Structure 1
Amino acid sequence: MKIERIEAIPYAIPYTHPLRFASGEVHAAEHVLVRIHTDEGAVGIADAPPRPYTYGETQESIIAVVRDLFAPQLVGLDPLDREKAQRIMGRTVHNATAKGAIDIALWDLVGKALAVPVHRLLGGYAEGMRVAHMLGFRPAPELLEEALRFREQYGVTTFKLKTGRRPLALDVEAARVLREGLGDEAEIYLDANRGWSANEALEVLRRTEGLGLCALEEPCDAAEAMGRRRLVQHSPIPIVGDESVPTPGDVSRELLSGGCTAVCIKTARSGFTQAAEILGLCTGLGVDVTMGNQIDTQIGSLATVTFGAAHEASQRRAGELSNFLDMADDLLAEPLEIRDGALRAREAPGVGAEIDEAKLGRYRQDS
Structure 2
Amino acid sequence: MVLNPEADTRPATATTVERIEVFTVALPTLREFTVAGGGVTTRGRPAIRVLVKVSASDGSTGWGEATPIPSWTYETTESIVSTLTHYLAPAATGLPLWDLDGLVRACDRAIRRGWSTGMPLARAALDVAWHDALARSRGVSLGELWGRRRHESVELCWIVTGVDADAVADSLAEGRAAGYRHFKVKAGLEPGRGVGADVARVAAVRAAAPDATLIVDANQAGTQESALCLAQRLAPLDVAALEQPLPANDIDGLRRLRDLSPVPIAVDESLRHPTDLASFVRLGAIGIAVAKVQRCAGLTLALRQCQLAEDCGIALMGSGLTESDIGLAASLHLFAAHDLIAPADLNGRQFLSSLYATGPGIRVRQGVAEVPTGPGLGIGVDEGIVRELAC
Note whether the superposition's TM-score is higher than 0.5.
Answer: yes
State how far apart, in whole Å, the 2-side matches of 1:137 and 1:258 are.
35
- Return the offset for 1:18: 2.3
2:132 corresponds to which residue? 108
State how far apart, in whole Å, the 2-side matches of 1:68 and 1:41 are.
24
> What residue identity is the alignment partner of 1:101?
A
> What residue identity is the alignment partner of 2:202?
A
1:22 corresponds to which residue? 36
**Matched residue of 2:81: which SS?**
helix
Find 2:55's aligned residue among 15, 26, 37. 37
Find 2:337's aligned residue among 310, 319, 332. 310
Q: 1:48-93, CA deviations, whole angstroms, 9 ceiling, x for partnerless residues?
A: 1113344321112111111111222222211101111110001213
1:321 corresponds to which residue? 346
**Unpaired runs of at least 5, structure 2:** 1-14, 113-117
User: Which runs of structure 2 are paired with 1:179-190 in the superposition (5 Å)?
Assistant: 179-183=206-210, 185-190=211-216
User: Which runs of structure 2 are paired with 1:48-197 in the superposition (5 Å)?
Assistant: 48-91=66-109, 92-93=111-112, 94-122=118-146, 123-153=148-178, 155-164=179-188, 165-166=190-191, 167=193, 168-183=195-210, 185-197=211-223
2:367 corresponds to which residue? 341
Larger mean Cα displacement after TM superposition, 20-29 or 197-206? 20-29
State how far apart, in whole Å, the 1-side matches of 2:222 and 2:317 are.
21
State how far apart, in whole Å, the 2-side matches of 1:55 and 1:352 are.
28
State how far apart, in whole Å, the 2-side matches of 1:88 and 1:319 are.
31
Q: Is the 8 A contact 2:19 2:55 kept in 1?
A: yes
Larger mean Cα displacement after TM superposition, 85-94 or 334-343? 334-343
1:233 maps to 2:259: yes
- Return the offset for 1:292: 0.7
- Return the offset for 1:196: 1.1
1:363 maps to 2:350: no
- Return the offset for 1:261: 1.7
> What residue identity is the alignment partner of 1:42?
S
Q: Is the 8 A contact 1:135 1:162 kept in 2?
A: yes
Give the 3 Å change call, closer, same or farther, for CA 317–120 of structure 1 in structure 2: farther
Give the 3 Å change call, closer, same or farther, for CA 329–36 of structure 1 in structure 2: closer
- Return the offset for 1:329: 4.7
Q: Is the 8 A contact 1:141 1:177 kept in 2?
A: no
State how far apart, in whole Å, the 1-side matches of 2:313 and 2:242 are.
18
Q: Is the 8 A contact 2:232 2:262 kept in 1?
A: no
Give the 3 Å change call, closer, same or farther, for CA 322–53 of structure 1 in structure 2: closer
- Return the offset for 1:137: 4.0
Q: Is the 8 A contact 2:132 2:376 kept in 1?
A: yes
- Return the offset for 1:340: 3.0
- Return the offset for 1:231: 1.3
Find 1:353's aligned residue among 361, 366, 379. 379
Q: Is the 8 A contact 1:100 1:272 kept in 2?
A: yes
User: Which runs of structure 2 are paired with 1:1-20 in the superposition (5 Å)?
Assistant: 1-20=15-34
> Over the residues paired in the alignment, what is the CA RMSD in angstroms?
1.8
- Return the offset for 1:249: 1.0
**Matched residue of 1:16: which SS?**
coil
State how far apart, in whole Å, the 2-side matches of 1:263 and 1:319 are.
12
Q: 1:277-329, CA deviations, whole angstroms, 9 ceiling, x for partnerless residues?
A: 11111111111111111111121111110111122x24x43111233231145
> What residue identity is the alignment partner of 1:364?
A
Give the 3 Å change call, closer, same or farther, for CA 330–269 of structure 1 in structure 2: farther
User: Which runs of structure 2 are paired with 1:268-307 in the superposition (5 Å)?
Assistant: 268-270=294-296, 271-307=298-334
Q: Is the 8 A contact 1:45 1:353 kept in 2?
A: no
- Return the offset for 1:358: 4.3
Q: Is the 8 A contact 1:36 1:43 kept in 2?
A: yes
The count of residues paired between Structure 1 and Structure 2 equals: 361
State how far apart, in whole Å, the 2-side matches of 1:145 and 1:265 are.
29
State how far apart, in whole Å, the 1-side matches of 2:373 and 2:67 are.
25
State how far apart, in whole Å, the 1-side matches of 2:315 and 2:244 are.
15
> Based on CA coordinates, which of the two structures has the bigger radius of gyration?
2
State how far apart, in whole Å, the 2-side matches of 1:330 and 1:219 are.
35
> What residue identity is the alignment partner of 1:21?
V
State how far apart, in whole Å, the 1-side matches of 2:96 and 2:48 are.
30
